[in-house]
Amino acid sequence: MDTPQSPDMLLSLACIISDSVNTIHAACEETGLAFPKLEDAFDLHSEAFRPHEGVSEATKRIVAAAHQLIAAVLPPATAVYTIAASGSHKAACLRICLEENVAEILREAGPKGLHVSLISQRTNINPQKLARILRFMATLHIFKELSPDVFTNNRLSSAFDTGKPVDELLSNRAARFSGTNGFTALACLHLDDIFKGSAYLWETLSDPLTSESVDAKGSACSHGALGYETNIWEFMERPEQAHRLRRFGEAIRGVQAMEPTDAVLEACDWKALPEDSVVVDVGGGVGASVFPLAKYHPHLRLIVQDRQDVVEQAKEVWLSKDPAALGMGRVTLQGHDFFESQPVRNASVFLLKQVIHDWSDKDAVRILSGLREASQPTTKLVIIDCLINHACSMAQLGEHSSIPGAIPREAPLPLLANYGAANFMSYFHDITMLTRFNSQERTVAEFSSLLKMAGWRLVRVRRTDGADTFLQPLEAVPA
């Protein structure tokens, strides 16, 4: 898919987009699949074209080139002001639509849509104000305005439809995310706590008392938005914050839903592990990360560790999703604080999926050192987190260049080496970690240094380059 480079950047970007669109069209024709229409409702089957060879790379190039093209052609002041002025409004209006179940209301209305006056009757929003919000969203291609003040779902809006009846959502709000794919819970988490915290990010970073802090209590969410004087985990465990804790557990499944279903299967050579090898999912929440391992690698013994209250949630999930694995002892749910001594001493693999990014280097070293102390000489450590690439070329990484997978695939010129907005999720999560936990996503060099301090040695980065992949597995062994 190499595109000839033009001395004119605009023409080069246009060629990249055109060639990549042709690649996707060819893949759809070859497989007999139609490219999904924006006005149609979201359906998992409509994503079937994505695994075809070349589609993922084409998608990344289109997104990267389109955003770069917009940045290039808009007047600079307009480009920057659009970011400054619209970001908060987009988040606020989308939150209203999610919290008021607009996607579900429109789904029940059917393809002819619903007048905003009728939508308003099922929400707490004034119809004239709600119309303005929905029109703003429709201008961003979320929902569609069929005729004046008549709206319907489209591919984007229906993606966060929980699938539940509106009456059920209104009567049992506490369970609105239960049994869903978690995507709506994840969106609501970001649009509530994290969105509020981001408004205080400058104040937090510019305050000498919190700017140098590496404590979660010094985060923008804690210090500014929500005003708790503890870390986020202790805050969510308060009885009055039960809704936040439950939403967080469901949101983790949302992260899982946005990743390829077999992502964890590519994180390690699981088949090579002997029968009854013990895999410990440290800080594993309800165990969503290891569902595929339980299904495709029944020779493994899986231990999911998290706080005791999360373990109670996990029991419900496993009894619903895979009761046999729980009943036969192939999966064990274990209450454990990973800052305490690790009770499992015979692990073949310690797995940490989206755990280390929640913590500062100081605390991350404590977690990793505890696992090192409990490890055997043959124990592997698998970390799955966002991996931050520099926005410039990483062709030379010094001492880390020899680590397999350390140097990422880079985009062709004139695109940014890191594919720009096509890899936006990693950088978005990095700022989310800063805002919520006063922590971070890390580069290869930062991970290598962190692991070294804790007695581990980074030996491999198992990069996956899909357009929908933002989590990357790293493998380490005892140093």
Tokens found for residue 45: 């089957």
Q: From CA 414, how far away is CA 76, in angstroms rounded?
A: 19
Q: What is the pLDDT of residue 466?
A: 62
* pLDDT tens, residue by residue, 311-366: 988 998 899 889 999 989 999 999 999 999 999 999 999 999 999 999 999 999 99
State yes or no: pLDDT of 447 exceeds 70.
Answer: yes
Instruction: Answer whether residue 215 shows pLDDT above 60.
Output: yes
- Model confidence over 43-55: pLDDT tens digits? 878 888 888 888 9
Cβ(336)–Cβ(275) below 8 Å: no
Residue 234: what residue type? Answer: E
Asked if residue 423 lies in contact with residue 395, where contact means CB atoms within 8 angstroms, the answer is no
- pLDDT class for 467, splitting at 50, 70, 90? low
243-280 pLDDT, tens digit each: 888 888 788 778 777 776 677 998 999 999 999 999 99
Asked if residue 115 lies in contact with residue 124, where contact means CB atoms within 8 angstroms, the answer is no
Mean pLDDT along residues 450-465: 93
Query: What's the pLDDT band for 7 if we cut at 50, 70, 90?
Result: low
Q: Does residue 308 contact residue 334 with C-beta atoms inside 8 Å?
A: no
- Average pLDDT, integer, range 268-295: 94
Measured CA to CA, the distance from residue 51 to residue 75 in angstroms comes to 37
What is residue 132's predicted lDDT score, i.e. its pLDDT?
98
Q: What are the angstrom distances between the C-alpha of 422 and each of 49, 65, 408?
A: 18, 9, 14
Output DSSP code: residue 387. B
pLDDT at 58: 95
The string of pLDDT tens digits covering residues 371-408 is: 999 999 999 999 999 999 999 988 877 778 889 999 99
Using the predicted structure, report yes or no on whether residue 141 has a pLDDT greater than 90.
Answer: yes
Q: What is the reported pTM?
A: 0.89
**What span, in angstroms and rounded, lies between the C-alpha atoms of 331 and 366?**
26
Q: What are the phi and psi torsion angles at 125 (to 5°)? A: -110, 135
Question: How many C-beta atoms lie closer than 10 Å to residue 56's C-beta?
Answer: 18
Separation CA 90–CA 109 (nearest Å): 24
pLDDT at residue 224, rounded to an integer: 73
Q: Tell me the backbone φ, ψ of residue 458, rounded to 5 degrees.
A: -70, 125
Residue with tokens 């604080």: 337
Which residues fall within 8 angstroms of residue 263, CB to CB, at 6 or more apart? 384, 464, 469, 471
| pLDDT at site 261 | 64
Q: What is the pLDDT of residues 83-132, one digit of tens each?
A: 888 889 999 999 999 999 999 999 999 999 999 999 999 998 999 999 99
The single-letter code of the amino acid at 328 is M
pLDDT of 448 over the 70 cut = yes
Residue the block writes with tokens 């940014």: 416
* 357 a catalytic residue: yes
Q: How high is the pLDDT of residue 375?
A: 97
Catalytic residue among 190, 357, 400, 429: 357
Q: What percent of the chain has pLDDT over 90?
A: 67
Whether the pLDDT of residue 287 is over 70: the answer is: yes
> Tell me: the pLDDT tens digits for 158-206?
999 999 999 999 999 988 998 888 889 999 999 998 999 999 999 999 9
